[in-house]
Structure 1
Amino acid sequence: MEVKIDSSWKAHLADEFEKPYFLELADFVKNEYANEPVYPAPGNIFRAFDLCPFGKVKVVILGQDPYHGTSQANGLCFAVNEDVTIPPSLQNIFKEIASDIGVSSTNKKINLHDEKSRGDLSRWAKQGVLLLNATLTVRAHVAGSHQKRGWEEFTDAVVKELSKNREH
């Protein structure tokens, strides 16, 4: 099966894309997109991999599944596009970072997230943070709807491949 994903990841995951569970998952996801509103947009399913090539991964942040609200999911766990209200889970992440480094999350001198980009974490991904959900797709307004369909097996394989082939 042809999967549109960064070539560095394709080299490490090619066998995964041919396994029966992944072929069944691909059929399920295609059917869902054909019949239901599903997030993220099809071109963003593997965005986490496209923005963070295999050889650049320094850390993995693992989420559960994409945001299921309209215009929220963008292919990076916990992230949203510019001009989308920052969800509570991402607000909590920013608060924890601020607490860890000993500053207020509203401190204008130490800006944890650019006010313009707000919840867009693509800069993190480009710096080696793999922002990966355990489930890469979700039906609109139905949290967990694509769990136990094969995504978890795929993302487990991703983490195992990183553990095996990247220094940690």
Structure 2
Amino acid sequence: MSTQIPQGWADLTFFNTDWPAIQAAIDADPRTILPPAHQRFAALERTSPDKTRVVILGQDPYHTPGKADGLAFSIPTDFPGRLASLGNILKELNSDLGVTRQQTDLRDWADKGVLLLNTALTVPTGEANGHKALGWDKLVHQVLARTSQRPTAFILWGNQAQKLATHINPGDHLILKTAHPSPLSARRGFFGSRPFSAVNDWLRARGEEQIDWTA
């Protein structure tokens, strides 16, 4: 199945100037690329610009087959392996709000206006950061510029995400920067950061509906 350009974002110049070359590079790559083609723009398809209230920026997709579904940190419910970063996110959610979430598929967050975007939208199987330099950053720059045209909460986990903060337009935003939830770095500032309550406090102060982070 081919990769479809997400309608709500189709006017971004990336899709005319950068995407054709990226797609050609992916098509020419003999390795198995994750997630599958029909899921590569899942985050943008699920959360349109006008619905985006929160942006959670990750790194790149999981590089284990069957684990990446096109939404940053989300894992299909039938995946049998380790949760890794998502497991730590769910631990922090429980510590922050007392919420015990069993569902690993985060599509419900996306449907509530949480754009779950990675800084690279593809990865070769078994090669973390393998497409870091492929050109996906151009898309992320434009998405951040678009979403920051109005007040938005931005959660930037890890150095790669935080470096992109310069592409957020000035405004009445909430910008949270902490360590990545990966098992390698979560104890360097991710645990105890309470991002979920911080977002809801910000939304409530603006008179907006809070995010229901439960499944």
Same fold (TM over 0.5): yes
Structure 1: stretches of 5+ with no match in the other structure:
104-109
Match of 2:19 in 1: 22
Match of 2:151 in 1: 167
Equivalent residues in 2 for 1:127-138 (5 A)? Answer: 127-138=112-123
- Deviation (angstroms), 1:156: 1.5
Asked if the contact 2:3/2:40 (under 8 Å) is kept, the reply is no
Identity %: 34
- Deviation (angstroms), 1:160: 1.2
More helix by share: 1
| Aligned equivalents of 1:3, 1:17: Cα separation in 2 | 12
Match of 2:85 in 1: 89
| Aligned equivalents of 1:147, 1:124: Cα separation in 2 | 25
| More contact order relative to length (CA 8 Å, sep ≥ 6) | 1
How many residue pairs end up in the alignment? 150
| Aligned equivalents of 2:106, 2:130: Cα separation in 1 | 24
| Aligned equivalents of 1:43, 1:26: Cα separation in 2 | 13
Q: Which runs of 4+ in 1 moved over 3 A?
A: none
Q: Deviations over 1:8-54 (max 9, x none)?
A: 2113x1x22111x433222112222xx21110010000000111111
Are 2:38 and 1:43 aligned?
Answer: yes
Are 2:124 and 1:139 aligned?
Answer: yes
TM-score, scaled to structure 1: 0.82
Structure 2: stretches of 5+ with no match in the other structure:
153-215
TM-score, scaled to structure 2: 0.65
| Aligned equivalents of 1:86, 1:142: Cα separation in 2 | 17
| Aligned equivalents of 1:86, 1:125: Cα separation in 2 | 22
| Aligned equivalents of 1:24, 1:139: Cα separation in 2 | 17
